[in-house]
Chains A and B, each alone.
Chain A
Amino acid sequence: MLAFVISRILQAIPVMLAVALISFAMFAYVGDPVSIMLGQDFTEAQRTQLIHDLGLDQSFLMQFATFIGNAVQGNFGLSYRLSRPVAELIAERAPATLELAFCAAALAMLIGVPMGVYTGLYRNSWLSRAFLTFSLVGVSLPTFLIGILLILIFSVWLGWLPSFGRGEVVQLGWWSTGFLTWSGIKALILPSVTLGMFQLTLIMRLVRAEMLEVLRTDYIKFARARGLGNRAVHFGHALKNTLVPVITIAGLQLGGIIAFAIVTETVFQWPGMGLLFIQSVSAADIPVMAAYLMLIALIFVTINLVVDLLYYLVDPRLRIGRGAAGGH
């Protein structure tokens, strides 16, 4: 178990390094940070001093090492646009994005998996057909359009729910939460539905496809031939086998939620990391973009690790050492 975790962490390191290299390359070579930071009036001495302060006169490897060292300590420099430490900006906005992503992911899993199981088991019922049609519309609707339609219906026409912002938030240490006030919860509803919709339909289609695949297998036919009831066959044998691939892909898709938060946050003016990122892209604010990229990579790598661990818990073929197998 420990060896498995360690090997997975070791595998994640090259990915993080590759992403760090891209971030660093953006940081160091795209645009001209020196002239951006100096502004209009400067002396050559100031310029040289700044180049030295930024470490730009050092070798590539030294610069990269410094970058990694800083990144590990959470130091990503100053935002060109806001002239504040990038880490501070991100930390301020992380709770908003993470709360939104959590709600969206919960929604996607809790509704998507049962819908997928149902449509897989009763593939010809009218409800399954309705779900499938719905999922196709869901996959084809761009996230921002779902947001706009929801705003039009629930904010503009019905006036039930707020269309922008987080509502009232409560500060718990450095974490600001919208879960503790009624207006905070109300503000979460539309963005969560918007953000979760795509993943929900995707998870539903995925679970359905896997379920159909598994139901065709010999061991399911054999389970029926042994006279096991529908409940045992469907929810014991079939669902558990469905879970193995579903965990993998659903996990990756949940990571996608963090990325798609960019769009949702723009539609709902949600003060999270995504909104910060998109503002940085429009302003070519490279330090924020680089830091965001690293953070997203870290989140993805972590999710991958958790997915692998779950996989390991579900599938005994991975769990037991190869030495124990075999023998007539």
Chain B
Amino acid sequence: MSGALARALDSDLWWSFRRSPTTVVSAVVALICVLGALLAPVLAPHNPFDLATLSLGDAFKPPAWTPEGDAAFPLGSDDQGRDVLSAIMYGARISLLVGVCSVLFATVVGVVIGLLAGYLGGAIDSLLMRIADIQLTFPSILIALLVDGVVRAALPPEVHERIGLFVVIFAIGISAWPAFARTVRGSTLVERNKEYVLAARVIGISQARIMLTHVLPNVVGPVLVIATLGLGGAIITEATLSFLGVGVPSTQPSLGTLIRIGNDFLFSGEWWITIFPGLALIAMVLSVNLLGDWLRDALNPRLR
């Protein structure tokens, strides 16, 4: 175990991680975002969903460091008297949850389709890749909007309200699978013709097992890179959908929802209601994207 750790610490990946201060900083920021979101019920100064603790008398308090600020509301409060910081922490939970789940969903769908297309080849391959090509022509936000719109039209409103979170995850996941499928298919095609896979076939190991045990490990690197870079994109897509008012249900406000709500008060001067959730979103996405960039460069030595 310690040998594995020592090897990990000596590896090129770790070396390139330590060498890049930007990467270290973004890892720290990402960690803060994730911890803040996960531990929101413990760490947040208020519970924004507990209506009993809300008082309209606390509404529109500016951030604590301004003259009219209130130390109880470090980043100010919104129109309902909710603490902006707490709302951000709870909102980040939703944003991260939707982001991670939709990327996982897209990864599973994409990897399975990519493996199938690459391994089976022929007409199935052409059909699947043609679909991926057509879908890739359109921006993911548009696909997600369409999927969301269709589901919205197909489901009664009360059902939609209940499963809204899953609809968003589904919509974003569906919009993102082709990138995974294409990469996995490419790697599968390369791996399929390598001698060890041919050898495995000759000694009679089943195709499914060959795919899982031989091909899959070889596509982990690129899939990880796409997933990391895709996570930033998924969080942005979720925030955009929520900002447009068609994302997560308003009973479970994400960062995008908070920004949309705060946007109404921009002109009356209560900028903190929208700007702080915005900054939190930027910090989260930027740190994830920087990590993804680093991972891509580290795993692709030619670019170094």
- By a beta-carbon cutoff of 8 Å, the part of chain A in contact with chain B is 15, 18-19, 26, 30-31, 136-137, 139-145, 148-149, 151-152, 156, 163, 212, 252, 255-256, 259-260, 262-263, 266-267, 277-278, 280-282, 284, 286, 289, 293, 296-297, 300, 304
Q: Min CB distance, B287 to chain A, in Å?
A: 9
Closest residue of chain B to A277 (Cβ to Cβ) is: B145
Question: In whole Å, how far is B86's beta carbon from the nearest beta carbon of chain A?
Answer: 21
Chain B: interface residue count, which band? Answer: 35 or more
Complex: chain A residue closest to B263, CB-CB = A148
Cβ of B153 < 8 Å from any Cβ of A?
Answer: yes
Q: Cβ of A136 and Cβ of B289 under 8 Å apart? A: yes
Considering only CB atoms, which chain A residue lies closest to B153 in the complex? A284
Please state if A142 and B239 are interface contacts (CB–CB under 8 Å): yes
Contacts of B137 in A (CB 8 A): 15, 252, 255, 300, 304
Q: How far is the CA of A141 from the CA of B146 in the complex (A)?
A: 23
Q: Are B138 and A296 in contact (CB under 8 A)?
A: yes
Contacts A30-B150, A255-B139 supplied; 18 other A-B pairs, CB < 8 Å: A30-B153, A136-B290, A136-B293, A137-B282, A137-B286, A139-B289, A142-B243, A142-B281, A144-B239, A148-B278, A156-B271, A255-B137, A259-B142, A266-B244, A278-B145, A280-B149, A281-B146, A281-B148
Residues of B within 8 Å of A263, CB to CB, are 141, 240, 243-244
Partner of A256, one of B139, B150, B244: B139
- Chain A residues with Cβ below 8 Å from B141 are 259-260, 262-263
Which residues of chain A come closer than 8 Å to B13, judged between CB atoms? none
Chain B 243-275, CB-CB to A under 8 Å as 1, else 0, gives 111100000000010010001001101010011
- Beta-carbon contact of A151 and B259 below 8 Å: no
User: From residue A294, how far is it (CB to closest CB) to chain B in Å?
Assistant: 12
* A18:B134 contact, CB within 8 angstroms: yes
Q: Is B152 an interface residue (CB 8 A)?
A: yes
CB distance from A155 to the nearest CB of B (A): 8
Do A152 and B134 touch across chains, with their CB atoms under 8 A apart? Answer: no
Task: Determine if B212 is an interface residue (Cβ-Cβ < 8 Å).
Answer: no
Minimal Cβ-Cβ distance residue in B for A252: B137
A144-B138 contact, Cβ under 8 Å, with A151-B266, A262-B145: no
Contact B240 A143 (CB under 8 A): yes
Closest A residue by C-beta to B160:
A284
Find residues 285-299 in chain B having any chain A CB closer than 8 Å to their own CB: 285-286, 289-290, 293
Given contacts A31-B153, A156-B271, contact A145 B245 (CB under 8 A): no
Does the CB pair A278–B139 fall under 8 Å?
no
Which residues of the other chain, A, contact B275 by a CB distance below 8 angstroms?
148-149, 152
A300 — which chain B residues lie within 8 A by C-beta? Answer: 137-138
Contact of A148 among B138, B142, B245, B266 (CB under 8 A): B266
A289 and B153 CA atoms in complex are apart in Å by: 11
